[in-house]
């Protein structure tokens, strides 16, 4: 079996693709032949430092994946050998107060694939049966793999946290990234109007071609002023952002009174000015969100199949070219998901 390991921290040279012992399935787990996985920002973080995340090196990278079941308990009634499946990367304890009340995403002992334990950048993986879900029809393995992190994160942000309605307007920062594209597609699919931002006109043009209502170049335009001009001075109902400090002020200023801002990241810094007066005078809601639980994943997969949404892929690489894939992600030039083909 081949897998991509982190053997240290500090750049591409610490990532090695090498042979390793075949994975062994334990009772209650499902053995999956991984056909495709996608890269996420946390893969760069784990490669560069992994600070604050409990892990042991060497560690197999990768959070999400799609593949084919090769082994399962004889007593399993929902999953079968040769079934195409996608993997939810959060391994929960099942016993803490949050798991007990059905909020596994808040599990106090959550272990994420590729962060706290061996991940999906391997040709086979064994995970608990509860983390394996039937793959939506009509998608390739690479497209389906994108469901496990970016689309699930966007789903929770939009529908669990912000509770977006079809008649509302949503502002999505940084179109081109995985979560942002997923948020645009999902919000548009229920009928919401979506405004997107980017520093590149080419990405805005692609988003508009996909159905975004309006695009704002955050390099050449004042985002908040552009939002107000487009909305007739009202502002947007919901802001979806994962950038953090660099966009925080303009995100807050773009909201209508009583609007909701949902954040799931802080790639440019995590200490923006709070702007408390704006928050309490305009009665804004600031909502944090990370990933999603099993029920949300099940709902997302059903919605994807019914709506016909197809995840956007930027590029695909064989596992042996993981360094090129990581460099592509690090460049920020991608539009959509960067995928790895594990069996090519």
User: pLDDT tens digit string along 36-95?
Assistant: 999 999 999 999 999 999 999 999 999 999 999 999 999 999 999 999 999 999 999 999
Q: What is the mean pLDDT of residues 303-329?
A: 97
- Of the chain, the percentage scoring pLDDT greater than 90 comes to 92
How many residues appear in the chain? 344
Q: What is the mean pLDDT of residues 295-324?
A: 97
Phi/psi of residue 45, nearest 5 degrees: -65, -45
* Residues 6 or more apart whose Cβ sits within 8 Å of residue 223: 197, 216, 247, 250, 251, 254
104 band by pLDDT with thresholds 50, 70 and 90: very high
Q: What is the mean pLDDT of residues 225-231?
A: 98
In degrees, to the nearest 5, what angle opens at C-alpha 332 toward C-alphas 327 and 334? 85
8-state DSSP, 131: G
The tens digit of pLDDT for each residue in 148-194 reads: 999 999 999 999 999 999 999 999 999 999 999 999 999 999 999 99
Write down the mean pLDDT value for the chain.
Answer: 95
pLDDT for 308 equals 95
Q: What is the dihedral of CA 220, 185, 127, 52, to 10 degrees?
A: 20
8-state DSSP, 129: G
Contact 15, 322 (CB under 8 A): yes
pLDDT for 12 equals 86
- Sign of the Cα pseudo-torsion (298, 306, 212, 205, in order): positive
Q: Report the alpha-carbon distance of residue 105 to residue 292 in Å, rounded.
A: 6
Q: What is the mean pLDDT of residues 101-129?
A: 96
290 band by pLDDT with thresholds 50, 70 and 90: very high
pLDDT for 87 equals 98
Helix (H) or strand (E) holding 125: strand 124-128
* Residues 6 or more apart whose Cβ sits within 8 Å of residue 300: 147, 151, 152, 155, 292
pLDDT for 265 equals 84
- Of the chain, the percentage scoring pLDDT greater than 70 comes to 100
Q: Report the alpha-carbon distance of residue 119 to residue 61 in Å, rounded.
A: 5
Phi/psi of residue 159, nearest 5 degrees: -105, -30
Residue 240's beta-bridge partner residues? 172, 262
Q: Report the alpha-carbon distance of residue 204 to residue 330 in Å, rounded.
A: 20
Q: Report the alpha-carbon distance of residue 59 to residue 47 in Å, rounded.
A: 10
Q: Report the alpha-carbon distance of residue 246 to residue 266 in Å, rounded.
A: 9
pLDDT at 267 over 80: no
Closest CA to 79 of 152, 20, 133: 133
Closest CA to 198 of 176, 214, 213: 176
């Amino acid at each position: 079996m081949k897998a991509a390991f982190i053997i240290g921290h500090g750049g591409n040279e610490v990532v090695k693709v090498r042979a390793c012992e075949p994975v062994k399935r334990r009772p209650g787990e499902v053995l999956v032949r991984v056909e495709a996985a996608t890269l996420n920002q946390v893969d760069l973080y784990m490669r560069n430092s992994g600070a604050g995340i409990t892990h042991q090196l060497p560690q197999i990278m990768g959070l999400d994946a799609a593949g084919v079941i090769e082994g399962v308990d004889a007593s399993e009634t929902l999953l079968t050998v040769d079934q195409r499946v996608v993997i939810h990367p959060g391994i929960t304890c099942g016993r803490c107060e949050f798991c007990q009340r059905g909020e596994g995403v808040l599990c106090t002992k959550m272990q994420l694939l590729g962060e706290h334990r061996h991940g999906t950048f391997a040709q086979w993986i064994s995970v608990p049966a509860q983390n394996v879900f039937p793959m939506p029809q009509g998608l390739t393995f690479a497209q389906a793999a994108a469901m496990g992190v970016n689309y699930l994160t966007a789903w929770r942000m939009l529908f669990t946290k912000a509770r977006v309605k079809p008649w509302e307007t949503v502002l999505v920062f940084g179109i081109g990234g995985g979560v942002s594209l997923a948020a645009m597609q999902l919000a548009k699919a229920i009928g919401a109007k979506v405004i997107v931002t980017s520093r590149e006109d080419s990405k805005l043009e692609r988003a508009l071609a996909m159905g975004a209502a309006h695009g704002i170049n955050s390099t050449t335009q004042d985002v908040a002023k552009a939002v107000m001009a487009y909305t007739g001075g009202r502002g947007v109902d919901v802001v979806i952002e994962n950038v953090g400090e660099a966009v925080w002020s303009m995100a807050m200023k773009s909201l209508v009174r009583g609007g909701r801002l949902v954040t799931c990241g802080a790639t440019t810094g995590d200490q923006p000015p709070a702007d408390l007066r704006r928050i309490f005078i305009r009665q804004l809601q600031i909502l944090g969100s990370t990933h999603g639980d099993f029920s949300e994943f099940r709902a997302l997969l059903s919605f994807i199949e019914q709506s016909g949404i197809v995840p956007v892929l930027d590029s695909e690489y064989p596992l042996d070219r993981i360094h090129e894939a990581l460099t592509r992600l690090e460049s920020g030039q991608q539009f959509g998901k960067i995928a790895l083909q594990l069996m090519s």
